[in-house]
Homo-oligomer: A and B are copies of this chain.
């Protein structure tokens, strides 16, 4: 039933494994120049770890630390023992690099194979990797996972839609790895060629590498007549294979035998209560060449409370709700635009556009949400509109814990931008 026995670990087993592996990780990390210094300064050693919660005695690691330690500052083994390097684009800004030993490559492939198996992929499947290869960890990461699982793997790479569809048909491809936005674009291409996406033999799509909504997933599933599974990873934690959806599709199981996950308030760095949004902070437990401790991913998510129906005890994280960089502080409260979007997009009366406007009234921040209403609901009945406005205020207040002003506006009346939508207009005077 499981690809890896580690999938069946109980909470108690996970806790004791995490304790042991965190000690090993601290010991190993101390061999790198960066952590030798950082751990000495913090005065924390392996013996200080009695439970996974003791991780909070360790300092946080940020992207800036990785940049400052480029290229080899976090490496714990001789260069001759490394077999792989993935690097962020080094042309602009400061690059970062991630290193792998041969064992790290095998561990990563095994984690990725476990994810795919959990989503229902089997060695009998024909798998097409429609993602770019090279320095991007998504390509080679999922490629190695598929081969470890034993799928017939087609390294198609990104783009060239005409070739993609020919390969999918000629080899009865049953599983694809595809970036969500390309999945939608590819469906358009197919339809323009007179091919129904649902006529393709794809039964499972692995989607990830860019944040997307539940709505996008359902749309991909509807178009291709397949099930689509959300994938989470980042190159600082190997790449893909950190967390993945099971067939319940109720959040992504994060592999707690390989990572310790914390969700922290990005201001106080205190853990948020279960179910609340915060910044995901990850620690590697099995990485040999380059362990990373308490890495601030800047990704916003929450732990999904309760037990998954699939029986796996590895905790689930929700789909990524945004980046900490997007966080607004209003009247001392952290607010993420994605929280507003989730409330609004769940209401059928609301159109596709909205705008968050921040102003200052004396010394008080004012938080206004302008909401476009669908044509059907924009009736001349003031009572009905006021009732709708009231419901939106209540829902937002329950989610955000502050009370916004809400203005209902006509469909098409808010500014539209090309490309990435501009959802926040901050008109507060700069201090």
Contact = CB atoms under 8 A, between A and B. Distances in A.
Interface of A: 70-71, 79-80, 82-87, 89-91, 95, 97, 99, 102, 105, 123-124, 126, 133-135, 139-140, 147, 150-157, 160, 162-163, 166-167, 170-171
This chain: how many copies in the complex? Answer: 2
A90 B167 contact: yes
Given A134-B133, A135-B157, A163 B83 contact: no
A62 B140 CA distance: 33
Contacts of A90: 163, 166-167, 170
Nearest to A158: B134
B139 A156 contact: no
A135 B139 CA distance: 13
* Secondary structure class of chain A's binding surface, majority of residues: mixed
A162 B91 contact: yes
A163 to B, nearest CB: 5
A29 to B, nearest CB: 20
13 contacts: A70-B170, A79-B152, A83-B152, A85-B154, A87-B154, A90-B167, A91-B163, A95-B170, A97-B170, A133-B139, A133-B155, A133-B157, A134-B156
A123 B126 CA distance: 34
Given A89-B163, A170-B90, A83 B156 contact: no
Contacts of A85: 152-154, 171
Contacts of A166: 90-91, 95
A166 B85 CA distance: 14
A134 B155 contact: yes
A142 B167 CA distance: 24
Contacts of A87: 154, 167
A3 to B, nearest CB: 15
